[in-house]
Amino acid sequence: MADREEPALEPERPRASTRRLAGATPAAKKVAGARRNPSVLGHEEDAPRWLRSAAGWSWRLIVVAAAVGLITYATIRVQLVFVAVFLALVFTAVLRPLVNLLSRWIPRAVATPLSMVLAVAVFAGLLTYVGFSVAGQWEDLGAQFNEGIGDILETLERSPLHITVTNEDVQGWITDAQDWISENSGAIASQAWASVGSVGQVFAALALATFLTVFFLMRGREMWEWFLNQLPARHRESWYLGGGAAWYTFSGYTRGTFLVAGADGILAVIILLALGVPLAAPLAVLVFIGAFIPLIGAPAAMVVAMVVALAANGIWNAVIVGIGIALIGQFEGHVLTPLVMGKQVSLHPVVVALVVTSGTLLAGILGAVIAVPIAAVAWSVFSLLRTVDPPTDFSQLDREADEAIEEVVEESQELQR
């Protein structure tokens, strides 16, 4: 019997979900069940486009958050090394102009240690002057402080609140404090021992920072070029430009902060001496140190200066001191900082507030100090390497949107008629 010829079957039309696989290779179709799951080739018709876009952004943000968390954890584990490198970069940024100046006449290997010795001598002389100032005025300040406290208690008693504090109350508070210290002596001793360990870490960080500063000042450019040559050639230009922008911003911020802090200290000592506030020099140094902590340091220094003025010279003197230091802060923010730093650090005050708060929550005072320069460096590198689209004329968009809304309203009114 002759075999019947089977009728030719009409080729099955591919479904819409697999139509896009027509050009794929057989190996690609077999990967992860591509015949049953077309989404492996980048197509997914079951989920809406906005959901696919949101999912893509979500997993990318999760990866970025995980990377930031990993970097933060690693930094915490080697916090001493991180602090030492940060301090070394600060010292390098401050001393580099002096080293470059001295290296015109003497070898750089001699200019580097000479600059560091001069910096240490200036810092030690400042501390010595503050110490002698405190020692010379301590007895007078103690008597003035006691008189000021008495005046404050009398003012509280005469106030509408009629708050009365007697010597017996003060003695009772002192007795309670002594009892608390005796009951918690073990915890205090353990805390003191931990503080000794912290002091040791501080000296270790300073020693490592000094060691690194010597090499950064002497061979910093050679070290940077060596690092760039270890990268693939196609990435070296981007790293070179980004590193240059980062160092320009960081060094400008560091040197500018020192200059602004010095100006704040000089203005503070002039105001305190004019108002007859004791310990004017130590309080001015406190203002100088507070300038390095954005948003937090200046108010803290102002409160301490006001307390000393209140105890020594009365409430009106304290009010004038507070107003004077607040005016110094305004002069710093609106005149000194823009004049000294210029465009090297272009962060909005809102960004500074958020960054300082986040840094304080993460790492305390250390985080508040280093948060702003890190954010400024990151923004400068990002601004240099990103591709900026031309600005949009939003006023034109507003006009077009208003015209479109008017047309829709007119059409709806005609339909109602």
pLDDT in tens, 167-192: 666 667 767 776 676 666 666 555 55
The CA distance from 405 to 172, in Å, is 75
Largest CA distance in the chain: 131
Read off the pTM. 0.67
pLDDT of residue 17: 47
Q: Looking at the predicted structure, is the pLDDT value of residue 331 above 70?
A: yes
Q: Give yes or no for residue 377 having a pLDDT over 80.
A: yes
pLDDT higher than 70, residue 22: no
pLDDT given for residue 2 in this prediction:
46
- Residue 53 CA: distances (Å) to CA of 26, 38, 63, 67, 389: 29, 17, 16, 21, 22
For residues 227-252, give the mean pLDDT.
88
Other C-beta atoms closer than 10 Å to the C-beta of 112 total 23
pLDDT at residue 71 tops 70: yes
Contact between 285 and 126 (Cβ < 8 Å): yes
Residue 392 pLDDT greater than 50, yes or no: yes
Rounded mean pLDDT of 86-105? 89
> Among 115-124, 256-265, 312-321, which stretch is predicted with the lowest mean pLDDT?
312-321
Q: What is the pLDDT of residues 113-137, one digit of tens each?
A: 888 899 889 888 877 877 776 666 6
pLDDT for 62 equals 92
- pLDDT of 34 reads 47
Q: Which has more pLDDT, 10 or 90?
A: 90
Of residues 340 and 323, the one with the higher pLDDT is 323
Q: What is the pLDDT of residue 109?
A: 85
Query: Cα–Cα distance between 417 and 400 in angstroms, integer?
Result: 26
pLDDT of 327 strictly over 70: yes
DSSP letter at 292? T
CB 242 within 8 A of CB 381: yes
**Do residues 113 and 214 make contact, with C-beta atoms less than 8 angstroms apart?**
yes
Q: Residues 298, 290: contact at Cβ < 8 Å?
A: yes
* pLDDT at residue 20 tops 60: no
Average pLDDT over residues 210-230: 90
Rounded-to-integer distance, Cα 379 and Cα 360, Å: 20
Contact 14, 29 (CB under 8 A): no
